[in-house]
Homo-oligomer: A and B are copies of this chain.
Amino acid sequence: MTDTAHETVPAEQASVAASPAASEQPKLSPADVESAVFAIGDRARRASRTIGRANRAWKDRALRAIGAALKENEDAILAANAKDLEAGLAGGTSKALLDRLALNPQRIDGLVAALENLAGLPDPVGTVVRGQTLPNGLRMRQVNVPMGVVAAIYEARPNVTVDIAGLALKSGNAVILRGGSAAAHTNTALVAILRDTLDSVGLPADAVQSVDAYGREGANVLMRARGRVDVLIPRGGRELIQSVVLNSTVPVIETGEGNVHIFVDASADEEMAVEILLNAKTQRPSVCNTVETVLVHRDSTVLPAVARALAGKGVRLHVDGRTMAALPEGVRAEAATDHDWATEYMDLDLAVATVDSIDDALEHIRRWSTGHTEAIITNDLRNAERFIAEIDSAAVIVNASTRFTDGGELGLGAEVGISTQKLHARGPMGLTELTTTKWIVQGEGQVRA
């Protein structure tokens, strides 16, 4: 079904000119922005018909060609990125943000490797989810098909531009991008390369478009482009995601926020607890699956060793009264407040509380969790089963690091994001989560009795 139909690319789609950079943008009225963004949506819809029926070989060829084009145009990309970095420096952008904004040959190699990895993955389109012959002889099957038009609103990191475009293309979707204005020059350069390359392999350039030229109002229009955008994925900080979730009338997949807990049960092995907590907090503290609060059972004896190990790695502890009293000599901590239980630090900070029972741990987690990932360290089977059954989060982990809540680690091949909502996708999302299904029913004249 997906192997057919190499549609001739209409003249309109063949225009590969990228959207103008934000800096060249004329001042448009809201109505002008709406009609411009809607027109982008309509072009994306048309392009989606071609990319949606392109077979895997064709899409993989496109992904590899994009990788090659990124390397070929590395100098141009880095020059555009330098402009963004310069503007950021002049505007007083923080060092952390500048680091996220910066590209270099290694990071471009990383993008190329990710595209190569994508090309190596199976095509999610065309998979038969279920199928049977019904009693009346009808043949029924439910098949994965592309969503159609995927949109993404994201912040500074320009690698998201290539990343999301690659995922969308592999899953047969057209994509509309809205990147952060801080990366405007870089994104303009990247989108132009993506579009030129699609055109060069006979796929519609309009399968990748940007609304960056239309500023904040462009993003607003995208959020209410019902019927034109099939799913909108926000990527970035909490404020961005909440704003998209609350203001969109198009379907949104909420990703990312992780106030992650680990419960150290009374029966937890000390060495295992130390290793898991060190890994979960310090291996990459800036990501959403890093642990933010540890709950220690009052009968556990692991606290001194755990606290020493964490402090030794520079982790700043924020602890409740009972934990403070139980800290070993030489380990300092701040007194924790509700603010600490609520905070996703994404840094070398960790809240620690002592609890009287697994019930208290579950209650604390129910109150403060964002539903991303929670783990238990235990040797008690009943408690492990209760934790698995009663925790209402996307991922529940027993005796392993919370850092495993990751599409790559869990064998999905590529990750679209970590959904913290329950509808459509929950937890790590792979390529299949960028598809929907279609019911196909075939008969020879059957009617309903």
Please list the residues of chain A having a beta carbon within 8 angstroms of any beta carbon in chain B: 1-2, 4-5, 49, 53, 132, 134, 138, 140, 142, 147-148, 226, 230-231, 245-246, 249, 251, 253, 269, 271-272, 275-276, 278-280, 283, 384-386, 388-390, 392-401, 403-405, 409-411, 421-424, 426-428, 436-448
Contact = CB atoms under 8 A, between A and B. Distances in A.
Contacts of A253: 423
Contact of A409 (B49, B148, B271, B448): B448
Given A404-B138, A427-B437, A445 B395 contact: no
Contacts of A405: 439, 441
B448 A401 contact: yes
Given A4-B386, A148-B392, A427-B438, 19 more contacts: A5-B386, A5-B389, A140-B411, A269-B445, A271-B445, A283-B448, A393-B438, A394-B438, A396-B438, A396-B439, A396-B441, A397-B441, A400-B441, A400-B442, A404-B441, A422-B436, A423-B424, A426-B436, A426-B439
A444 B399 contact: yes
Secondary structure dominating the interface of A: mixed
Contacts of A230: 422-423
A443 B396 contact: no
A439 B423 contact: no
Contacts of A1: 385, 388-389
A446 B400 contact: yes
A276 B445 contact: yes
A227 to B, nearest CB: 9
A276 B4 CA distance: 29
A254 to B, nearest CB: 9
Contacts of A231: 422-423
B447 A276 contact: yes
A-B pairs, top 7 by smallest CB distance, nearest first, are A400-B443, A279-B447, A422-B436, A424-B424, A403-B448, A272-B445, A395-B439
